[in-house]
Amino acid sequence: MLSLLSIVLTFLSLIVMPCLFVSWRLRVPLSITNIRRFIKTTASQCNDKEESGTTGEKEKGGRMPKHVAIILDGNRRWAEKRGLGPSQGQEAGARTVMENVKDYFSMGINTVSLFAFSTENWGRPGDEVKYIMDMFEKIVKSEMPNLRRYGVKVSVIGKRTNIPESLLHLIGEAEEATKNNKEKQLIMALDYSGKFDILQACKSLAEKAKNGLINIEDIDENLMDKELMTSCSEFPNPDLLIRTSGEQRISNFYLWQSAYTELYFPSVLWPDFGGAEYLEALDWYQKRQRRFGLRV
């Protein structure tokens, strides 16, 4: 009897408890597939640390991305499928962000970009836009303590000209309060347009050339990178871009920055994109790296 009890306790400690921990830690369904993904991504993260400084970039195929960008698509369709209004779909999408933001960085990822509101979104009905702006204010207020506790640097990129003053004030406070955090960075693209980003970068370079600060012949890709809004990150160009809802295009998001980015298009709508789906995206990225040895 004592021997049987010992076997049961050993099984629980070696198999069941670690599996339950993984399921709880990443808030994913308990399954062999998710356990396998967690082990593979964690092992890859450890390999990154061991190989740092000893091998070239091209030799590190299969490691974790440093910058993941996500287009949060499908909130309205999610609501329509359930007979709900657009505002309820936006609220569900916001909950997904708040519930998972900590786990976005759990595998050693440095920068996460969220395409939260495009410049084109101003064309939506006024009441929906107002609801979204009010929702952003609530998110910034409620999540700031958590982001500071997690050591996440907050950066908001976009035009800002049409953003309500009250939201701009909260954004300024959030950026100031987290500006010294280095290892994790959350970039929120708000009133962002990839075309506008390239245009403003070109204008800035032209102005500097006009004022004699740079020579025209010195303008290259590196200078362009420094003028784009994503220059706020140590890793300005995403390694992996995820667009939910199955739409296979990046629209008006990170047009310059995504030249060498792996593009992943899961069919799941954004409010349903949880920890399991995120692990699946990272697993897909690693397989691509191992198979093709692409830029990380």
- Annotated catalytic residues are 73
CA distance to 72, 93, 135, per residue, from 130 (Å): 18, 16, 8
d(CA 197, CA 189): 11
d(CA 84, CA 133): 19
What values do phi and psi take at 68, rounded to 5?
Answer: -115, 125
CA distance to 28, 198, 225, 291, per residue, from 201 (Å): 41, 5, 8, 35
Q: Tell the residue number behind the tokens 């303008």, with chain if given.
A: 219
The answer to whether 70 and 112 have CB atoms below 8 angstroms apart is yes
